[in-house]
Structure 1
Amino acid sequence: MSEALAERVVAVASGFIGTPYRHQGSLKGVGCDCLGLIRGVWRELYGAEPEVPGPYAADWAERAGEERLLAAAARHCGGVLPVSALRPGDLLIFRWRAGVAAKHAGIAAPDERFIHAYEQGAVIESPLVPSWRRRIAGVFRFPEIG
């Protein structure tokens, strides 16, 4: 991903900060969840989403047990990168604990931080402290704008 695109990804994601948390939402200033943040950023960058996730329950990952979030990220952003390659603008997918499907997403920001939708709160920027870093299940790069 070019430096210009990475900066744009972070700028667009930063524009969502303060958006209230809303399960299945994806609208800046109105409401979004972590997937909705990624969907909203994608729409601002590319104009349309590559796929619509359809309705999902809050416990979708626990019930399905499938790596749907990682698979979707790989379909649209290419192969998974090692955490050591992480840089601002990258898409981060998190797993809460071993043995369960990854179900949280955010966007890497400068200075070891990331932007994500905090459940029962809002879109925030948080430090990527060791407790978050060890939960990273995948790092992906947004594709160049064509």
Structure 2
Amino acid sequence: MNAAKSQRVITIARSWLGTPYHDQASLRGVGCDCLGLARGVWREVVGPEPFPIPPYSRDWGETGPREVLADGARRMMPEIAPSEAGPGALVLFRMKPRAIAKHVGILTGPDRFLHAYERLGVIEEPLNLSWRRRIAFAFLFPQR
């Protein structure tokens, strides 16, 4: 991702800071969850969402044969190796060992990311080793 596009993604993502947490919502300043944050950034960076998002569970320990979130992202975004993900990349986290990836964040720097977290809303925080180890997939926002 070029520097200008990366900065645009980050600027838009940061405009969501302070948005309260609300499960399955995607309205800046009103409420969103982690996927809703990514969807809102998508709408401003790329355009209308290409397909409706079906209801989903909040269970971070969910297991199963399919990486539903990653499969959905692959339909719309170029996938990159997590080790190649830089500022502006969308990352998916596996919150529990052997569970499917169920949490989404946007990298804002080499050691920082932005995400929506229950009870805290949209926050930016350090991408410490605990978070970094949980990254399972990474994607780039496509061109408009």
- TM-score scaled by length of structure 1: 0.91
1:21-60 paired onto structure 2 within 5 Å: 21-59=21-59
Question: Which is helix-richer, 1 or 2?
Answer: 1
Amino acid at match of 1:50: P
Q: Which deviates further from its counterpart, 57-66 or 16-25?
A: 57-66
Report the Cα distance in structure 2 between the residues aligned to 1:54 and 1:61, rounded to whole angstroms. 19
Report the Cα distance in structure 1 between the residues aligned to 2:126 and 2:94, rounded to whole angstroms. 17
- Structure 1 residue 84 displacement after superposition: 2.2
Residue of structure 2 equivalent to 1:118: 117
Q: Which deviates further from its counterpart, 109-118 or 21-30?
A: 109-118
Deviating beyond 6 angstroms after TM superposition, the runs of 4 or more aligned structure 1 residues are none
CA RMSD of aligned residues (A): 1.6
Secondary structure of residue in 2 paired with 1:62: coil
Report the Cα distance in structure 2 between the residues aligned to 1:100 and 1:8, rounded to whole angstroms. 32
* Percent identity of equivalent pairs: 49
Report the Cα distance in structure 1 between the residues aligned to 2:66 and 2:32, rounded to whole angstroms. 22
CA contact 2:91–2:107 (8 Å) conserved in 1: yes
- Structure 1 residue 65 displacement after superposition: 5.3
Structure 1 unmatched ranges of 5 or more: none
Amino acid at match of 1:40: G
Q: Deviations over 1:13-60 (max 9, x none)?
A: 000000000000100000000000000001111220122212223228
1:54-133 paired onto structure 2 within 5 Å: 54-59=54-59, 62=62, 66-79=66-79, 81-133=80-132
Structure 2 unmatched ranges of 5 or more: none
CA contact 2:82–2:91 (8 Å) conserved in 1: no
Amino acid at match of 1:13: A
